[in-house]
Amino acid sequence: MSRIILLLLVWLLIAPASLAAQGFDFSDYKTLLERYLKENQLINGIPVNVLDYNSIKQLEHRPGTPYVRLLADLARFDPTTLSERNERIAFWINVYNIAAIKTLIDHYPVDSIRSRKIHWLGQPWKRKVIKVGERIYSLHELEFEVLIEGLRDLRAHLGINCASVSCADLRPEPYRGAILDRQLREQGERLAAQPEKGLRINRVNRRVSISQIFKFDQEHFDAWAGGPVRFLLSYLTSAQDRELLESGDFTLEYLDYDWKANDLKWID
């Protein structure tokens, strides 16, 4: 009996550290993506992964659903237990994407995250939206305070999705620290291969058009990456395109940005 008690005491001492080392369990988020995300659709002729927001809305006040459990678990989780850098980046990218989804769900039906139903000036970014541990975060805080200034990784812009058509696409799986580099590389290559919203190159006229994602945070891309074009170079698969961008002999423009929600109901 004394041996059993001793083993139990040892387990109680080890278990908290072991659970913390495992990080946050995003299995409920994974379930939501598997059930309600539809890949490779078109809205206004722009490629996008779309969410069935209407179906997720039905889960909002039903205890025990993946959506309700996910938000409750985040509210109880202590993010300071995450020690590995890629694990922290993956965690906060997931939190941002969940927060953007929640922003629409809180006010659904809406046509856009910039709907006046969400914020009367169409600027929802500083609205407190999601609780993680002891703090309630806004999208602006998650993007800039936590991910960009805090973790200093511009690749976060390839992972976060502001629930809009022209954002980098919502990935059909949660981000994970162990495979984060591969996931973000795939995101960068995907965006660079989307001329409708990511990168469009006209070799004849030597015009390069890029997403306004890079304009929204031009300060950091200029300071840390030598500009958005240099940042995008590593995600190009065409040698000809890379040669043009490396030459610097082109006119840089920004693509129009479609703020329409990445909602299943809008697919072409």
Average pLDDT of the segment spanning 95-117: 98
Structure tokens at 204: 């004849």
Closest by Cα among 144, 167, 139 to 154: 144
Supply the pTM of this predicted model: 0.91
Each residue's pLDDT tens digit, 120-134? 998 999 999 999 999
Each residue's pLDDT tens digit, 165-182? 999 999 999 999 999 999
- Rounded to 10°, the helix 66-76/85-107 angle is 130
Handedness of CA 137, 53, 109, 166 (dihedral sign): positive
Q: Where are the domains of the chain?
A: 21-266
Answer whether residue 31 shows pLDDT above 80. yes
Answer whether residue 4 shows pLDDT above 50. no
Answer whether residue 65 shows pLDDT above 50. yes
Each residue's pLDDT tens digit, 178-227? 999 999 999 999 999 999 999 999 999 999 999 999 999 999 999 999 99
Closest by Cα among 171, 125, 158, 191 to 26: 171
pLDDT band at 12 (very low <50, low <70, confident <90, very high): very low
pLDDT band at 86 (very low <50, low <70, confident <90, very high): very high
Each residue's pLDDT tens digit, 13-24? 444 333 333 599
Closest by Cα among 212, 161, 165, 203 to 184: 161
User: Can you give the pLDDT at residue 21?
Assistant: 37
Closest by Cα among 193, 129, 191 to 166: 191
Average pLDDT, the chain: 93
Answer whether residue 101 shows pLDDT above 70. yes
User: Can you give the pLDDT at residue 22?
Assistant: 56
Answer whether residue 73 shows pLDDT above 60. yes
User: Can you give the pLDDT at residue 3?
Assistant: 54
pLDDT band at 144 (very low <50, low <70, confident <90, very high): very high
Find tokens 């997931």 and name the residue.
94
